[in-house]
Structure 1
Amino acid sequence: MSKDRKLLPLDQRPYRPGIGLVLLNSRGLAFVAQRIDTPDDAWQFPQGGMDEGEAPRQTALREMKEEIGTDKAEIVAESSDWIAYDLPPDIADKVWKGRYRGQSQKWFCARFTGADADIDLATAHPEFSRWQWMDLARVPELIVPFKRALYDRVVAEFLPVARAMGRRPG
């Protein structure tokens, strides 16, 4: 972006289309990872922007491979709606070159079919420094505050899936 290009006021910017992915292991625990670029102890699910012409489900599988180094999962649920979050004004002009006010995301829930050793954060463009499996209900308290309402909605929608998965034998 050239320096003389004026940014739209925050409330007039569009949302960037994206996805989020809740990855559950066989015990119904959720994959969360700590961002490299966030100084706070902020954890999140894999998520990212959609490429031109890419379907949301395709994006979810691509982002999982790009961010956590595995594609060993099968999608088992999808959010009923797109869910948006707004960036805080103090960072909105820096993220995505100031073109967006936040993201509107389609969320997916997937069952991890691999082993922990299949997860490799040392991807081509690492986003996370460490990861863990966690009770899905606890995740919203660990996310950056401006995404907390979105995470509350996602957890409410996918918690029954996680609980059912945790009760499965095996």
Structure 2
Amino acid sequence: MNRKTVELASLPYRPCVGIMLANRQGHVFVGQRIDSKEGDAWQMPQGGIDIGESAEDALIRELDEETGIASHLVDIIARSVHEHLYDLPDELIGKLWGGKYRGQAQRWFLVRFKGEDSDINIATAHPEFDAWRWAEADQLVELIVPFKRPVYREVVQEFRHLL
């Protein structure tokens, strides 16, 4: 193991929530990342858990910040049994989160959307997405950037029976 690998491996994971937002038909919200140069990086809403914040509170805050969806329009259906970890590719570690984290430790939630499509507004104060759509659960793994695919595979498997 070289020195750089040891240094990266010693970095902690960023505490995070991931949100599988499903509509009444069992389709899942995905947003196209605004910062993707290729324009093909889709993902489910996610974000960091602030110090002193519960995972459930982070879920509600992140959902509002990324989709404009108010808390009364969702029901939490399930919480992942364990955290799902992913490592950033080496070239991204110094560019994201001030280089303080090697990746994320995500607590995933399945959330049922009770609103209408018109209740979704990705033009938020700090937009993360420039487009959104409903996708089949089986499409999610192929839509995400490759380094997050194992996590998406696990999350889909864990929540599929509840969609």
TM-score, structure 2 as length reference: 0.93
Instruction: Trace 1:20-39 onto structure 2 (pairs within 5 A).
Output: 20-39=18-37
> Where in structure 2 are there 5+ consecutive unaligned residues?
1-5
| Contact 1:137 1:159 (C-alpha < 8 Å) held by counterparts | no
How many angstroms does 1:39 deviate by? 1.5
How many angstroms does 1:60 deviate by? 0.6
Letter in 1 for 2:58: T
Letter in 1 for 2:21: L
Letter in 1 for 2:30: V
Alignment pair present for 1:81 and 2:82: yes
Distance 1:25 1:39 in 2: 29
Distance 1:91 1:25 in 2: 33
Instruction: Trace 1:85-100 onto structure 2 (pairs within 5 A).
Output: 85-100=86-101
Letter in 2 for 1:79: S
Alignment pair present for 1:58 and 2:57: yes
Distance 1:70 1:14 in 2: 31
| Contact 1:18 1:49 (C-alpha < 8 Å) held by counterparts | yes
SS of residue paired to 2:17: strand
| Contact 1:46 1:63 (C-alpha < 8 Å) held by counterparts | yes
Percent of counterpart pairs with the same letter? 49
Alignment pair present for 1:69 and 2:82: no
Distance 2:122 2:97 in 1: 23
> What does residue 159 of structure 1 align with?
160
| Contact 1:22 1:109 (C-alpha < 8 Å) held by counterparts | yes
> What does residue 15 of structure 1 align with?
13
Alignment pair present for 1:44 and 2:40: no
Distance 2:76 2:121 in 1: 20
RMSD: 0.9
Instruction: Trace 1:124-163 onto structure 2 (pairs within 5 A).
Output: 124-162=125-163
| Contact 1:16 1:49 (C-alpha < 8 Å) held by counterparts | yes
> Which consecutive segments of 4 or more residues in structure 1 shift more than 3 A?
none
Q: How many residues align?
A: 155
SS of residue paired to 2:35: coil
How many angstroms does 1:38 deviate by? 1.1
> Where in structure 1 are there 5+ consecutive unaligned residues?
1-7, 163-170
Distance 1:157 1:57 in 2: 18
Distance 2:46 2:102 in 1: 17
Letter in 2 for 1:120: N
SS of residue paired to 1:51: coil
Q: Deviations over 1:4-58 (max 9, x none)?
A: xxxx811000000000000000000000010000123010000000011000011
